[in-house]
Chains A and B, each alone.
Chain A
Amino acid sequence: MTVRDGLIGVVCLAGVALLAGLPFVVADYGLSLAINIMSYTVLATAWSLFSGPTRYVSLATVAFFGIGAYTTAVFVEALAWPLVLLIAMAVGSVVASLVGLATLRLSGVYFVIFSFGLAELVRQLVTWFEVNKTRTLGRYVFADITAAQIYWQLLALAVLVFAIGFLIGRSRLGLALRAIGDDETVARHSGIDVTRAKVALFVLSTVFMTLTGAIMAPRWTYIDPAIAFNPVVSFTVLIMALLGGVHRLYGPVLGVVPLALLFEYLLARFPNHFSIMVGLVFIVIVYLIPRGVVGLVEDTVRQRTAAKGAA
């Protein structure tokens, strides 16, 4: 470990400590905004953990987020909280493994469509079950959990997703995924079990989404399938990750913070035109900064260096 690595480690620890102290200094509105940003940080970072290197664009984020939320809604009153989270992890992993094995042989656009369809399918299944079996569409989520506790759990999850992302980047799996992203055929011919690597990462990435949903559920008090499986969540996560940049671990968070603040502002200022505004933001981002903020900065730096070298 070099001095630089050590320094980065110290800065990260200090940052986490500062963030952990946030609930003591901000009021309710500030905390709810922080929870929002923290949950999208986990979702977008987890999303790009899989979609960044493999370049599979997944719109299934909310499928797993919703599964987590429903797990909480069903079990929170009967079981201890850690057990609820464990069940959410288990259910999410099983669904992700099945979906991964079935779909990760699909390429590009087919996977996008499938992942979007998956979220709808799960939503329809839950709706069908609630209407026909429990005979009530919505559920109340009464949990003895404060907003600050939710925030701290999300912070812990964020630390975990960054730590795992960092470790993957230095592991064989990380190298395998970069190879797969570049050229799947070549990756196979280098001895990489492409399907296994993709499924493993897909499951890992979706576990974080499921946990985020499970942790966030008590925030709503009342959920129904339209709330828990709202497709806007998937699109928001996608655009946040793209704005930040998916080829660096810290990229997505650079998209999450400005967009979460922007959406907050738009929602307060133009509640009736929110969707149109969000659509415009999507277009502008994809058109103007296709490689994200990180890519933009790196390209600028490279050009500067090249210009200096030429001069």
Chain B
Amino acid sequence: MSRTLLEIDGLTRRFGGLVAVDALGFTVAEHEIVGLLGPNGSGKTTVLNLLSGVLRPDAGRIAFRGHAIAGLPAHRIARLGMARTFQLVRPLASLSCHDNVRTGLAFGRRRAWGAAADAEAGRLLDRVGLGGVRGSLPGELTYIDQKRLELARALALQPDLLLLDEWLAGLNPTELDAGIELVRSLNGQGITILLVEHVMDAIRSLCHRCVVMNAGRLIAAGLPAEVLADREVVRAYLGEDDNDRGGGHA
């Protein structure tokens, strides 16, 4: 087993009376792809927001590469090597694709600027399949290409850990295959990935391990096939109709 990259312990966040994340704990090892699953409203995106520094936890510990990052501002966490995409794509609308990526390069770990950054931005756009639209504004791209752009911007931070919030949602079957292949190849390059996802095919084919949340709590963790067959997960997440199918795959 390789070293632990991310360790979460007792993580809690309340919104008024609602406990969105309730004493959550799990770990992610280096080079893993871990799926963070759960029905809508179970607190997955809140977890990503706590990890990336959008929100401050009310309690709990987050250790990333040995640094205690709970409550740190987002830009410091980004510079430590954690990058993310957003559930609804958020490209920088007035910046060209090239400049979107350059932003991550200029302020992330590399602090790259000038000709070196320009060349690297081009390489990253090529990497996600956007080589032909460097000068375009994000608004001129299709939805899938905006998602690619957001991924390129995240990669510009040269992350150790990449948080993908439903990055594969809303793609057609061909795009989905390409997307899965892209995520896998990033992992092959040594990037650890934590993904929130609803697309079952993607989870089964990509994830080494899954953790499942319901109502802010961890209800299962383990191999994808195991957790997807877990009785409690099936009840909470897949619904009664999917019971047989979920069991059949186990």
Contact = CB atoms under 8 A, between A and B. Distances in A.
| Interface residue range, chain A | 10 to 19
A77 interface: no
B159 to A, nearest CB: 10
A190 B157 contact: yes
Given A172-B107, A191-B104, A186 B73 contact: no
A180 B247 CA distance: 48
B208 interface: no
Contacts of A298: none
Contacts of A176: 103, 106-107
B53 A191 contact: no
Nearest to B157: A191
Interface stretch (B88-96, B140-148, B192-200, B226-234): B88-96
B216 interface: no
B70 to A, nearest CB: 16
A248 B91 CA distance: 22
B108 A191 contact: yes
A27 to B, nearest CB: 45
Contact of B95 (A172, A182, A192, A193): A182
Pick the most buried of A176, A183, A190: most chain B CB atoms within 10 A of its CB: A190
Interface residues of B, number: 29
Contact of A189 (B74, B93, B109, B113): B74
A304 interface: no
Interface stretch (B10-18, B21-29, B33-41, B75-83): B75-83
Contacts of B84: 189
Secondary structure of the A contact surface, majority rule: helix
B31 interface: no
A169 B70 CA distance: 34
A191 B86 CA distance: 15
Interface string A175-211: 1101101110111111111100000000000000000
B54 interface: yes
A188 B55 CA distance: 12
Nearest to B84: A189
B45 interface: no
Contacts of B153: 186, 190
B111 to A, nearest CB: 8
A182 B93 contact: yes
B102 interface: yes
The 3 closest A-B pairs by CB, nearest first: A191-B107, A188-B74, A182-B92
Given A179-B95, A187-B103, A191-B79, 8 more contacts: A175-B99, A175-B106, A183-B90, A186-B153, A188-B53, A189-B84, A190-B75, A190-B107
18 contacts: A175-B99, A176-B106, A178-B95, A179-B92, A179-B103, A182-B94, A185-B54, A185-B90, A186-B91, A186-B153, A188-B54, A188-B73, A188-B78, A190-B78, A191-B107, A191-B157, A192-B75, A194-B75
